A and B are shown apart, each in its own frame.
Chain A
Amino acid sequence: MLKLRWPARPPSAGKSHRGETRWFTQRLVETSPLRAADPRTKLALALGASLAVMLPLPRLGLFLAGYVLLVAWARLLPEVGRHLWRARWVLGLLFVVDFWLVGPELALTISLRVALLTGVFALFFSTTTPRELGLALEALRLPYRYAFSLTLALASLSLLEEEWQAIREAQAARGVQPGRGLRELWRQAGDLVAFTVPAIVLTTRRAWNATEAAYARGFDSPHRRPYQSLRLSRLDYALLGVCGAGLAVLFWGGRFLP
C-alpha cells in the first residue's frame, strides 16, 4: 500500500530559466485588464461569484452568462478553461450520476455549481502578484509581519522545490529508496525520515537566513512606510458596482426574473 515512486520531476515540470518554477498551473496574465484592478476588488468579485452557487438554475444560468462575459473581457478564458479542464472527469461523472439518478435539471445545476466553484478564483490569482497579495492582506488589516512571511514563502517556493529534488538525489545516492512494498515497513519509515529530516533542517536554515537578512535591512522598524499603497480606482468602483448590482438583482430580483 505504501508504495511510493519518486519521479525525477513531476510530469508538467519545466524550468524556463534557473530556479523559476513553472509546475504550478497558475500563471500571471499580464495582458488582462484586471491587472489594473485593486486586489481587494478582485477578491470581493471572486467571493461574490462563489455565493452565486445558491441561485436556482435559470438565475445561475444568467449569472454564468455575465461571468463568462467578465472573464472574456478580462482575457482569462484560457485560464478558467484550464481549471475546468482539470476538473473535467469529476464534472462529467457528477453530470452522469445526477442525470441517471434524478434528471437533467439537477444534473445541469450541480455541474454548473461545481464548475463555478472550480473556476471562480482564477480571476484573482491569475492577475495578482505575490507582492500585491501581500499589500491586499495588509490593507485587510493583517499585520505586516504575517503578510511579509507569506510573500517570503511564495518567493522561496522554487528554492524549496530544488532542495526537495536535491535531497531525493542525495539520499538515493546512499541507497535510500522508498517503495519496496510492505515487507520492510519499518525500514521504509526510516527512509521517509531520511527525506523529512533534511527537508525540515534546510527549511529552518532558510527561515533563519531570511530572518537575519530581513533584520539586517531594518525589518520591524517603527518608521516603515510602504512604497506602494492600494487605492480603489474608477475601474474598481465600476467593477464592484456592476457585479454587486448584478448579484443583488439575481438574489432579490423577485418576480422580474425567471
Chain B
Amino acid sequence: MSQTKRLLIGIVILGGLAGLVLSVEMWRGAALAQSAGAEATLTPGAVPIYLQGQRVAAFEPADLERLPLANFVEPVENKTQEGWLLYDVLRLYLPEEALLADTQVRVISTSRGKSAELTWGEIADLKNMVMFDLSGRGTLKLVSLLDRLATRDQWVQDTDRIEVNVP
C-alpha cells in the first residue's frame, strides 16, 4: 500500500472517530434537552404517558377529580382498595385508535425498579379492576384482581411513568 493511501486511511479513521463522538454527543445532548424540556413542563406528582416512545400527555393529580371512583376488596388481606380505573385514565388522554385489545401498557415505578405489563384487553375487562389507589404519601399504586397482580408484592407502588405501545 502506498504511503498516501495509508495516510488517507488514517485521516479517514481519525475523522470517523471524531465524527462518531460528536454525533453521539449531539444525540445525547438532544435527548437530554428533550427530556429536560419535557420533565420541566410536568407539575409535581404528574405521571407522564408515553405512546410509541413519545411523551403525549401527563396524568395530572387534579384530573382524578374528573373520573369516577371504583373499589374492590382484595382477597389476601381482605382490605378495600379504592381509586380510579386505569381504563378511565387512559381513555382520558389517548385516542381510541391507540387502544386496541392487544395494545401493551406498561406501568412503571423507576424509583422502585418495578413495573407491570398489561394489555388493553385486560384493562378494559372491568372485572379485573386494574386501577390506581392513592397512597398515604400522595403517590399512585397500581392494584388489580388479576392473578399476576393479586398480592401486595406484585403491585406497582409509586407509579411515575406509563408506556403504551400499539403493535
Asked if the two chains touch in their complex, CB atoms less than 8 Å apart, one says: yes
Q: Which residues of A contact B35 (CB under 8 A)?
A: 102
Identify which of B33, B39, B112, B153 gathers the most chain A CB atoms within 10 Å of its CB.
B112
The listed residue (A56, A58, A101, A255) touching B33 by CB distance below 8 A is A101
Interface size on A, as a range, is under 10
Report the Cα distance A54→B72, complex, angstroms.
40
Report the Cα distance A255→B36, complex, angstroms.
29
- Shortest beta-carbon distance from B114 to chain A in Å: 8
Q: Across the interface, name the chain A residue whose C-beta is closest to B110.
A: A56
- Shortest beta-carbon distance from A41 to chain B in Å: 31
Report the Cα distance A101→B37, complex, angstroms.
9
| A92-103 vs B, Cβ < 8 Å mask (1 yes, 0 no) | 000000000111
Q: Which residues of A contact B153 (CB under 8 A)?
A: 255
Contact A56 B113 (CB under 8 A): yes
| B contact patch SS | helix
Q: Which residues of B contact A255 (CB under 8 A)?
A: 112, 114, 153
Q: Which residues of B contact A101 (CB under 8 A)?
A: 32-33, 36
Contact B112 A102 (CB under 8 A): no
| A226-258 vs B, Cβ < 8 Å mask (1 yes, 0 no) | 000000000000000000000000000001001
Contact B113 A102 (CB under 8 A): no
The listed residue (B36, B111, B114) touching A102 by CB distance below 8 A is B36
Which residues 33-60 in A have Cβ within 8 Å of B in the complex?
A: 56, 58
| A contact patch SS | loop
| B91-115 vs A, Cβ < 8 Å mask (1 yes, 0 no) | 0000000000000000000011110
Report the Cα distance A255→B113, complex, angstroms.
9
- Shortest beta-carbon distance from A27 to chain B in Å: 36
Q: Across the interface, name the chain A residue whose C-beta is closest to B35.
A: A102
Q: Which residues of B contact A102 (CB under 8 A)?
A: 32, 35-36, 39
Report the Cα distance A56→B35, complex, angstroms.
18
Contact B113 A103 (CB under 8 A): no
Q: Across the interface, name the chain B residue whose C-beta is closest to A102.
A: B36
Report the Cα distance A102→B39, complex, angstroms.
8
| B26-41 vs A, Cβ < 8 Å mask (1 yes, 0 no) | 0000001101100100
Q: Which residues of B contact A58 (CB under 8 A)?
A: 111
Q: Across the interface, name the chain B residue whose C-beta is closest to A103.
A: B39
Report the Cα distance A101→B113, complex, angstroms.
24
Which residues 1-57 in B have Cβ within 8 Å of A in the complex?
A: 32-33, 35-36, 39
Which residues 98-121 in A have Cβ within 8 Å of B in the complex?
A: 101-103
Report the Cα distance A109→B126, complex, angstroms.
41
Report the Cα distance A255→B39, complex, angstroms.
27
Q: Which residues of A contact B39 (CB under 8 A)?
A: 102-103
Report the Cα distance A8→B44, complex, angstroms.
58
Q: Which residues of A contact B113 (CB under 8 A)?
A: 56
Q: Which residues of A contact B36 (CB under 8 A)?
A: 101-102
- Shortest beta-carbon distance from A167 to chain B in Å: 32
Which residues 76-91 in B have Cβ within 8 Å of A in the complex?
A: none
Report the Cα distance A63→B40, complex, angstroms.
30
Q: Across the interface, name the chain A residue whose C-beta is closest to B33.
A: A101
Report the Cα distance A58→B111, complex, angstroms.
9
Which residues 108-146 in B have Cβ within 8 Å of A in the complex?
A: 111-114
Q: Which residues of A contact B33 (CB under 8 A)?
A: 101
| A175-206 vs B, Cβ < 8 Å mask (1 yes, 0 no) | 00000000000000000000000000000000
What 4 A-B pairs have minimum CB-CB distances, sorted nearest first?
A101-B36, A102-B36, A101-B32, A255-B153
- A interface residues, Cβ below 8 angstroms from B: 56, 58, 101-103, 255, 258
Q: List 15 A-B contacts (CB under 8 A).
A: A56-B111, A56-B113, A58-B111, A101-B32, A101-B33, A101-B36, A102-B32, A102-B35, A102-B36, A102-B39, A103-B39, A255-B112, A255-B114, A255-B153, A258-B111
Other than A58-B111, A101-B32, give 4 A-B pairs with Cβ distance below 8 A: A102-B36, A103-B39, A255-B112, A258-B111
